[in-house]
Amino acid sequence: MRISHNVVFLGIVAVVLASAAATAQNSGIASGYPVPKGDLNPQERTGAGLYKRYCVGCHGIKGDGNGENAPYIDPKPRDFTLAQFKCRSTPTGTLPLDADLIHTLQRGVRGSNMPSWLPLSPENWEDLVAYIKTFSPRWKTEKAGEPIPVPTEPEVTAERVKAGRDLFQRLECWKCHGVEGRGDGPSAPTLTDSKDRPITPYDFSQGHKFKCGTTDQDLYLIFLTGLDGTPMPSFADNVKPDEAWDLVFYLRTLQPMKSKEKEIAKQLGLKPINPNAPAAPAPQQ
């Protein structure tokens, strides 16, 4: 069968266009927006093109969370000009690691409109992070915080689950999250974020995924880093590493999926805390 010259020519054109599109996707012009050089380095320029293609609709051209979609989104998009991030491995008030920001791009943020960007390449993630950091001067004057170490997870025991329940009461977690962890504590209706917008405490009864991940290690870190920009504080000064694991294990009993922690709680006949009862004293140092 003979193939016409026109068909061959069109095939070559298609290959060339596909190659050009792939190159553009990683050049900072994939969005169709030419990116002025300004004072951006090559990686930041590439990130700017990716940002304008994928992120600008929510986070806005200035990175302040005021994109055209923002009025219709709850919770609101992140304001990158503040350099204030919920999900980090670094102490409260400090800048996150690049790896923390990349982890958010990979994972997305549960309970929000922030999706996972796993389809992008590792280079794209790095380029986007480089550009996002240009929105706040903090990245020029501050270094990222030192990551908080996560010790090896101990074995789940009845003593640890019960100790976690006592800690949940002593730290007054129930005031926001409720005595059964349903996000309906007495303080819940009054809570606001750093921009004075209403914010809802996490409801543990709705699943096993957390805003910053799904693993016990992710939950452990939340206790020690806090969620900057929200009422969720860091307990790094109030909780010892061993106690943090106890709290992780107790909170797993409040979630709907089957787990060793829930089975232990059932065997113990562990009931929700009584907020009117005196909290167990803190263990001696």
The answer to whether the beta carbons of residues 161 and 246 sit under 8 Å apart is yes
- Joined together, the tokens standing for residue 213 give 């991940």
Instruction: Average the pLDDT over 118-143 and give the result.
Output: 97
Q: Please report the pLDDT score of residue 154 as a whole number.
A: 96
Residue in 31, 114, 32 with CA at minimum distance from that of residue 65: 114
The answer to whether the beta carbons of residues 57 and 38 sit under 8 Å apart is no
Q: Where in the chain is the domain with CATH 1.10.760.10?
A: 39-141, 158-268
Q: What is the CATH number of domain 158-268?
A: 1.10.760.10
d(CA 276, CA 120): 51
Question: Per CATH, the architecture of 39-141 is what?
Answer: Orthogonal Bundle (1.10)
Indicate the helix (H) or strand (E) that contains 121: none
When the pLDDT of each residue in the chain is averaged and rounded to a whole number, the result is 87
The pLDDT tens digits of the residues spanning 204-219 come to 998 777 889 889 999 9
The answer to whether the beta carbons of residues 160 and 261 sit under 8 Å apart is no
d(CA 39, CA 25): 21
Residue in 180, 151, 203, 189 with CA at minimum distance from that of residue 253: 180
The pLDDT tens digits of the residues spanning 77-128 come to 999 999 999 999 999 999 999 999 999 999 998 888 999 999 999 999 999 9
The alpha carbon dihedral of 213, 219, 223, 224 has a sign of negative
Q: Is the pLDDT of residue 250 over 90?
A: yes
Q: Please report the pLDDT score of residue 153 as a whole number.
A: 96
